[in-house]
Structures are given as C-alpha cells and as structure tokens.
Amino acid sequence: MDELNRKSVNEFRQSEKTPLVVVLDNIRSMHNVGSVFRTADAFLVEGIYLCGYTPQPPHRDIHKTALGATETVGWQYFANTADAVRHLKEEGYAVFAVEQTEGSVPLPEFGVKHSGRLAVVFGNEVSGVGEEALALCDGRIPAGSVAGPPPSTRSPCGPVPAAPGSGCGGSPAA
C-alpha cells in the first residue's frame, strides 16, 4: 500500500468521509455495482445503499470490478428503495435522483445551490429510478452527457456527483 500511497482498510475506515451516500435502485449488473464501489472508495464517499435486487457483496463479479473497495466502503441493504430514501431523509440528508426528467437541475447549477449531507439515487440500467423513490426525492440531477444519447448504464454516471467542483463532494467536509 505504501508504494501506491493508498490507505489501509483501517486507515480508510477512520478517514473523514465526503458527506455523500450513493443509493443503487435495482441495478442489474454486478460490474456496475463494483464500479460504484470503486468510485466511492476513490472519493471517500460515506457509504452505499444497495436496494431491491441490486447484487450485494460478497460476489466474485462485484469484487472483480471493485478491486477491494467492498472492504473499505460501508454499505447497507434495503429491500425497498423508497425505505432507503425515507431513512436518509430522517437522518437529515437531501436526496436527489440522478435521472433525466422534467425539472432536472443541471449539475453546475446544482453544485451552487446544495451543500451538506447529500444522497444520490441511481436507478435501474433500463427503467431508471422507481416511481415511489423518485417521488420522495428532493430533486433530480440529469444523467448523461451534454450531447449525444443518454447513457445505457449507470456505472459511467457514478462519479459525476462526487466530482470536484460539482458541489456534491470531491473533497471531505471541512
């Protein structure tokens, strides 16, 4: 770990975290789940909520992509995504769906308006965030690129809310 300048599992667990929880709503692909774990590890994200039929560690296909991040990033399972959103709101989080819908706030505008404890909900690769969970969210952040077709998978979107300058993380809270 020293030669790579990486934290040990214990150092990671004791590190100050970015006040961001990633919620995965019925994600099908184990590789996408592993990718989100890896991104969460890279940005010191507070945790991941796996919901519905989203695959859970331990599984070799998740580990194949996560490359050890399932050991460092805390996660919880909720049978229902709406229950996870309710729980986060009760804990004082502002919850936003990463979904291309009417009323979505572009990421640069979002970063200016929101700070504090945030949670982002990523939906199923085909059907997006479930209606019940979507209705409970405080708002929406559009997924996808500025031009071209929308993404066909959630894994490339995972890093977006945690990126430096997005206002949703990128550096641990002061």
Among 157, 148, 153, CA closest to 97: 157
pLDDT digit string, tens, across residues 33-87: 999 999 999 999 999 999 999 999 999 899 898 988 899 999 999 999 999 999 9
- With 0-12 / 13-18 / 19 or more C-beta atoms within 10 angstroms meaning exposed / middle / buried, residue 155 is buried
User: In the numeric block, which tokens belong to residue 69?
Assistant: 């991040």
Distance in angstroms (rounded) separating the CA atoms of residues 13 and 83: 26
pLDDT of 67:
87
| Percent of the chain with pLDDT strictly greater than 90 | 53
User: In the numeric block, which tokens belong to residue 61?
Assistant: 């296909």
Distance in angstroms (rounded) separating the CA atoms of residues 51 and 37: 14
Which domains are assigned to the chain? Answer: 2-162 (3.40.1280.10)
25-29, 143-147, 158-162: which is most confident: 25-29
